[in-house]
Amino acid sequence: MFKATINAKDFKKIIDATSNLVDEICFEVDENGIKANAMDPSHVALVSVNIPKDTFEEYISDVHDIGVDLEALKKIMGRAKSNEKLTLELDEEKNKLNLILKNDAVRKFSVSLYDVSSTNLKVPDIEYPNEVMIKAGAFVEALKDAELVNDHVSLKISEDGKFIIFSKGDINQSETIYDNNSESILDLKITESSKSTFNLAYLKDITKATSSDDILHIYLGSDMPVKIEYNIGNAKILFLLAPRIE
Amino acid sequence: KNKQVKIEDFFKVN
């Protein structure tokens, strides 16, 4: 048994954020909520979604692994309206996940389940020396600047406690510098200077579904994966992106 | 030149 009702807008955002990196996913559902961890096809990035039971208006579930094609879910959620309620319902007999959208009309969709067995993929518990809390819009703007000069970008913490988004091409260079006085910065927790370099296309995919006022928690170290977390309603979404190393 | 590494490389460390 699995039946859960949530506002369509939040679920759409969760699917949008996930499907930028991953083609298919296995939702591990139980009495506490929905969890899913997946790597992108190149195994460069990892996405982890946690939608606790209290996010839902109604939630009843036993333990199930629900494997779905994210592109199909994305298309269906693309048809959802923000004032609609979404009920997710597992049809174990037909091996399908039903999605029922309700407001003025009742619209029913049904998607086939994939045999994406739960990978038991765990998010590695990495300790980071630095954490930046920044508005998503500001970070996305800095990535756009960096993109003008190269396809990768360095995320740096300077010795004097600044957060620097730095990109260098063959002839050109781009740099966005934030410090504790910047309005877009909500907090900088810094213990040491650090620098890691990342593929820009991945960072853009990771931040694509964000609204400009979403608060990103960006965890940084030297030649370490970047961890980027934000909340969608009560749900939490986490990305890990492996660095480029010299 | 820098090289893209895989995220799995960081699983083993932990």
Sheet of A85-91, strand order:
A58-61, A2-7, A85-91, A96-102, A106-112
Contact B5 A245 (CB under 8 A): yes
What are residue A111's DSSP bridge partners?
A97
Average pLDDT, chain A: 96
Cα distances from A207 to residues A57, A113, A227, in angstroms, run: 27, 28, 12
DSSP A163: E
pLDDT at A103 (0 to 100): 93
Rg (CA), chain A: 19
* Distance between CA atoms of residues A230 and A211, nearest Å: 11
Count CA within 13 A, CB hemisphere, residue A112.
Answer: 2
pLDDT at A243 (0 to 100): 98
Q: What is the pLDDT of residues A118-144, one digit of tens each?
A: 667 888 889 999 999 999 999 999 999
pLDDT at B14 (0 to 100): 43
The amino acid occupying position A200 is L
Alpha helix stretches (DSSP H) within A84-207: 136-147, 200-207
pLDDT at A119 (0 to 100): 67
Backbone angles phi, psi at A242, to 5 degrees: -70, 145
A53-67 mean pLDDT: 96
- Answer whether residue A81 shows pLDDT above 70: yes
DSSP result, A122-139: -------SEEEEEEHHHH
Longest Cα separation, chain A: 61
Confidence band of A231 (pLDDT split at 50, 70, 90): very high
* Distance between CA atoms of residues A161 and A128, nearest Å: 15
Nearest Cβ partner for A45 among B1, B7, B13: B7
Measured CB to CB, residues of chain A less than 8 Å from chain B are 39, 42-46, 122, 124-126, 152, 197, 199, 224-225, 240-246
Contacts of B9 in chain A (CB under 8 A): 242
Give the closest residue to A16 by CA, choosing from A65, A66, A96, A78: A78
